[in-house]
């Protein structure tokens, strides 16, 4: 196996750029390599997911079919954040079916779909607790959304999480009565 590192861009992607890989979230292209595998030369994007301590190699030719994409545009991030303030839409189907649908949305790499999962599974302190599997899906969706919002808006992960949580708090019937005005004042001060 021969490895030759290159740094020029391929298919609109270049080294150092943040990208979204649907099943893993936001990563950074650290190199574009050429490897010889079983006598065939193959160009690969080397993507690092630092938080997960994982490196993924994606063949340049498979980028489109794998669903790898550039980070969302700022206006799409704004739309995703607005999605969080809407009313949760929970279907009246069995949990196992809904869980599959949520998992599919999370792994789609679509920021709006991920925001819908965060919105639908969010529980305010005043609401009943989530089951373990609901909590896992919620945290997975929140983490994916937080990393992309942080990368696009050049925030730290914790700043992005606070921004998302502030948007969730704006949703219907999420704050106990009387606290809504306090919440709006706190958000105005933060802005």
Kindly report, residue by residue over 136-189, the tens digit of the pLDDT: 999 999 999 999 999 999 999 999 999 999 999 888 764 444 444 444 444 444
Evaluate if residue 11 carries a pLDDT over 70. Answer: no
Hey, what domains does the chain have and what are their CATH numbers?
A: 3-70 (2.40.10.170), 74-176 (1.20.58.1290)
Predicted confidence (pLDDT) per residue in 75-125, tens digit = 999 999 999 998 888 888 899 999 999 999 999 989 999 999 999 999 877
Between 40 and 178, the more confident residue is 40
First CA to last CA across the chain, in angstroms? 53
Task: For the chain, give the number of residues.
Answer: 191
Helices (H), ranges, the chain = 63-66, 74-83, 95-108, 111-121, 132-153, 157-169, 179-190
């Amino acid at each position: 196996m021969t490895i030759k590192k290159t740094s020029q861009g391929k298919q609109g992607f270049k080294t150092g750029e943040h990208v979204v890989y649907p099943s893993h979230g936001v990563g950074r292209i650290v190199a574009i390599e050429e490897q010889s595998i079983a006598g065939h030369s193959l160009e690969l994007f080397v993507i690092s997911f630092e938080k997960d301590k994982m490196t993924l190699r994606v063949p340049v030719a498979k980028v489109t079919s794998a669903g790898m994409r550039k980070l969302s545009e700022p206006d799409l991030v704004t739309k995703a954040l607005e999605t969080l303030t809407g009313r949760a839409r929970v279907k009246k189907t069995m949990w196992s079916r809904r869980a599959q649908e949520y998992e599919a949305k999370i792994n789609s790499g679509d920021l709006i779909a991920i925001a819908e999962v965060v919105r639908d599974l969010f529980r305010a302190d005043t609401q009943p607790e989530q089951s373990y599997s609901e909590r896992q899906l919620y945290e997975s969706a929140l983490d994916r959304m937080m990393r992309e919002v942080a990368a696009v808006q050049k925030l730290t992960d914790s700043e992005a999480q606070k921004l998302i949580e502030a948007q969730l708090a704006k949703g219907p019937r999420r704050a106990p009565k009387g606290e809504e005005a306090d919440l709006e004042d706190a958000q105005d001060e933060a802005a």
